[in-house]
């Protein structure tokens, strides 16, 4: 991790550049996979599963026997932890439910809006170097609260053709019945087009590698919505003299261990803080099982010293981190000025890991700077808003002439006539 002291603003964009993905070339690899699944269905899925996951499967769907076996393999401590996390995620997302909105915009003109769950949603759960059973909670819990009727879960099998027990345990806990042993771009294709076994969905959720990301973006071209564009995981930490270097180092490493293309950014108020954090990083790295991943991610990362708080906040907003940790004396003073971030963690005792697992907020967040225009997954991600209107004869008597005037100005006579005929009837003309 290199250090830069008080860089001028014109260099920030270059300093904060993410590890690049050549999406055009990746799309060139993914598109034939998508097209093959579209045309050949399950046979293509089996072929790609053998090619990419190294296992030959006769049945793509997880059986009830496999789920029962998985339940027995998950220890009681983990089951209890998952249960607490589920409750917290339910509590936070349940609070996001909209009431039925009714507004009388003028006498006799009533407008309404209500949220309706997206009927069919697809959940992609990575299962490669890290089986993300926590993502099952983050996606399925709000989907259930929103009222989505059909949840389809795809996750890659291991070399023995099995799905990680914790993923299956969590999936059955939240009530998912359609679970398939399919990963990668082919899983996204299956949920986009539907196959003999896997249902087509209306919206696809979940993180994944660069091939999954490219496939999700291609899915939009075929009329299927996605949660957001996503890329490698990232964190930015803003630390001043009140920060605990060991905590900051642990937070940086918690993201770096995700994968070699992850990125961490440290913004500090002094070089002394940077040096203390770097020493802690080196010390903690020695004990990490995924140290190799973390070391490579750190090579994509940077520490920036900015003694001026205003400049530091400007830089953090320029970066638009997926996760932003504020290890500063007055975190809310800084947080209130942050406009670009996926999720913000305030103070020395709020590790990013808490949001990843169990505090209640959602860990499916915009990366690669998309926090400037995208929100993370929430209950809103699983609903669509339908508006209604109901107008009384008295209301149309007042509103109708307004509509007639506007329609005439746009030279849309049929629009005007739809009102005029009703006004004539009301007025017995």
Q: Residue positions in the annotated binding site?
A: 124, 186, 209, 233, 255, 258, 323, 356, 410, 415
Strands in 150-155's sheet, in edge-to-edge order, are 178-181, 150-155, 120-124, 203-205, 225-226
DSSP-derived secondary structure for 164-198: -HHHHHHHHHTT--EEEE--HHHHHHHHHH--SSS
Residue 190 · residue 45 · CB < 8 Å: yes
Strands (E), 22-108: 101-106
Binding-site annotation, residues for Zn(2+): 255, 258, 356, 415
| Strand partners for 151 | 121
Residue 269 · residue 307 · CB < 8 Å: yes
DSSP-derived secondary structure for 406-425: HHHHTT-HHHHHHHHHHHHH
Q: What is the CA radius of gyration of the chain?
A: 26
Take residue 406 and report the two structure tokens written for it: 């506007």
Binding-site annotation, residues for substrate: 233, 255, 258, 323, 356, 410, 415
User: Of these residues, 234, 276, 280, 322, which one is catalytic?
Assistant: 322
Take residue 417 and report the two structure tokens written for it: 């006539």
Q: What is the DSSP letter of 327?
A: E
Catalytic annotation present for 363: no
End-to-end CA distance of the chain: 80
Catalytic annotation present for 322: yes
Residue 347's H or E segment, with its range, is: none
User: Of these residues, 93, 164, 257, 323, which one is catalytic?
Assistant: 323
Residues recognised as catalytic: 322-323
């Amino acid at each position: 991790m290199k250090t830069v002291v008080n860089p001028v603003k014109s260099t920030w964009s270059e300093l904060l550049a993410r590890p690049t993905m050549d999406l055009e070339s990746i799309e060139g690899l993914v598109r034939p996979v998508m097209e093959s699944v579209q045309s050949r269905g399950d046979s293509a899925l089996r072929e790609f599963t053998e090619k990419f996951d190294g296992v030959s499967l006769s049945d793509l769907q997880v059986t009830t026997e496999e789920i029962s076996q998985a339940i027995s393999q998950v220890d009681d401590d983990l089951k209890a932890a998952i249960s607490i996390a589920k409750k917290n995620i339910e509590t936070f997302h349940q609070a996001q439910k909209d009431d039925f909105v009714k507004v009388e915009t003028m006498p006799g003109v009533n407008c309404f809006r209500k949220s309706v769950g997206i009927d069919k949603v697809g959940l992609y759960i990575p299962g490669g170097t890290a089986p993300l059973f926590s993502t099952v909670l983050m996606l399925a819990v709000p989907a259930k609260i929103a009222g989505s009727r059909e949840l389809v879960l795809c996750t890659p099998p291991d070399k023995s053709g099995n799905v990680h027990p914790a993923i299956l345990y969590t999936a059955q806990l939240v009530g998912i019945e359609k679970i398939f042993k399919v990963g990668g771009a082919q899983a996204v294709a299956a949920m986009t087009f539907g196959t003999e076994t896997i249902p087509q969905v209306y919206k696809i959720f979940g993180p994944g590698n660069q091939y999954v990301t490219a496939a999700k973006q291609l899915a939009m071209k075929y009329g299927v919505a996605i949660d957001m564009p996503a890329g490698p995981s990232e964190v930015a930490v803003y630390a001043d003299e009140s920060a605990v270097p060991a905590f900051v180092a642990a937070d940086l490493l918690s993201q770096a261990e995700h994968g070699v293309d992850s990125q961490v950014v440290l913004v500090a108020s002094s070089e002394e803080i940077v040096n203390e954090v770097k020493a802690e990083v080196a010390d903690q790295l020695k004990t990490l099982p995924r140290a190799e991943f973390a070391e490579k991610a750190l090579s994509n990362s940077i520490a920036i010293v900015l003694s001026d708080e205003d400049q530091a906040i400007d830089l953090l907003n320029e970066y638009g981190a997926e996760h932003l940790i504020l290890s500063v004396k007055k975190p809310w003073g800084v947080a209130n000025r942050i406009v670009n971030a996926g999720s913000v963690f305030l103070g020395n005792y709020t590790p990013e890991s808490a949001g990843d697992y169990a505090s209640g907020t959602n860990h499916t967040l915009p990366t690669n700077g998309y926090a400037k225009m995208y929100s993370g997954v929430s209950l809103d991600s699983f609903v669509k808003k339908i508006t209604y209107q109901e107008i009384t004869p008295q209301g149309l008597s007042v509103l109708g002439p307004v509509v007639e005037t506007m329609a005439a100005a746009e030279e849309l006579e049929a629009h005007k006539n739809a009102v005029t005929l009703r006004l004539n009837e009301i007025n017995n003309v």
